[in-house]
Structure 1
Amino acid sequence: MPYRVCFVCTGNICRSPMAESVFRTRIEEAGLGGLVEVDSAGTDGWHEGDGADSRTVAVLEAGGYESSHAARQFQSSWFSRLDLVIALDSGHLKALRRLAPTAEDADKVRLLRSYDPAAGDDLDVPDPYYGHIDGFEECLEMVEAASPALLAAVQERVEGRAA
């Protein structure tokens, strides 16, 4: 059974699809494509079925990443099939932990920037939606900075399952 990771932001059109795309690329580069599944969702369903924000798409494509996406809302029932739920800010972290059916499920939720050793105490990836393209570029930088340690943690779990 694959190890399953889901990135979650508010509407699933900016931060979480960006994180999903970057991390899926890292998983493929590490040769873990068949062992790890990556997706994303939003805490709210406002944009359900919509593609990623055009600025997210532009920043991803400029960075050489895949950008196909359809927004969806995170469901509490998903916890049973997910191994790791990555929140993009502390508001998402709290909302997801409240949704978790069990304490074990709540423990699956982590902040993305907690995997970035340079992040310090500022663990939120700010929502770029109401700003300009530079906010989306900053978001991509934060996602990329957290990806190596997140990849290492997931790789360790996947190898632990195989042992």
Structure 2
Amino acid sequence: MKRILFVCTGNTCRSPMAEAIFRAKTHGQDFEVRSAGVAAYDGQAASPHASKVLEERGIEHNHSSSRLDAELIEWSDLILTMTANHKQAILMYYPAAANKVHTLREYVGVEGFGDIADPFGGSMEDYRRSAEEIEEALDRLSVRLLEERFRESR
């Protein structure tokens, strides 16, 4: 079972949405999914707007934030960050993880890579746009992971 970790800053907006949406898309099959933040405080709920966006999509998620640490790095097979800065922060503290750390958009082959916009402090519409960006990348991620699994089974 592949272990995927989504990472953002505070683990209350983007990475919890990515975790919940990906889990809903894959129905928890073949993947263990978690999320964390490079500057998170343990035990915080997802932001109210992030929770509402997930609710609008019919996704239940009881989130409690986690600060990224060595244990989560070790647990992960694949670490997908929301921004290039998150990736660089991880590589600064955990250089041995370089082969498994990518921005989400980089990993799924989005031209020019780019960051997933941070909706923190924004309107519901900002959170909806961020969730759409995340979901588009997760659709590509699902395809890539299926292709990888097919190649590995040959």
Deviation, 1:157, is 3.7
Name which of 130, 151, 154 aligns with 2:121. Answer: 130
Give the drift of 1:83.
Answer: 0.8
**TM-score normalised by the chain length of structure 1:** 0.85
Alignment map for 1:94-133 (pairs within 5 Å): 94-102=88-96, 105-115=97-107, 119-121=110-112, 123-133=114-124
Scaled by the length of structure 2, the TM-score of the pair is 0.89
Larger deviation, residues 59-68 vs 86-95 = 59-68
Query: Displacement of 1:120 after TM fit?
Result: 3.4
Q: Give the alignment partner of residue 72 of structure 1, picking from 66, 74, 80.
A: 66
Within 5 A, what are the aligned runs for 1:1-40? 2-28=1-27, 33-40=28-35
Distance 1:153 1:122, change over 3 A: closer
Aligned partners of 1:85 and 1:110 also within 8 Å: yes
Q: Distance in 1 between matches of 2:75 and 2:44?
A: 24
Identity within the alignment, %: 32
2:48 counterpart of 1:57: no
Unaligned stretches of 5+ residues in structure 1? none
Q: Secondary structure at the match of 1:37?
A: strand
Asked whether the 8 Å contact 2:11–2:36 carries over to 1, the reply is: yes
Q: CA deviation at 1:158?
A: 4.0
- Computed over aligned residues only, the root mean square deviation of the Cα atoms, in angstroms, reads 1.9
Conservation of the 8 A alpha-carbon contact between 1:114 and 1:146: no
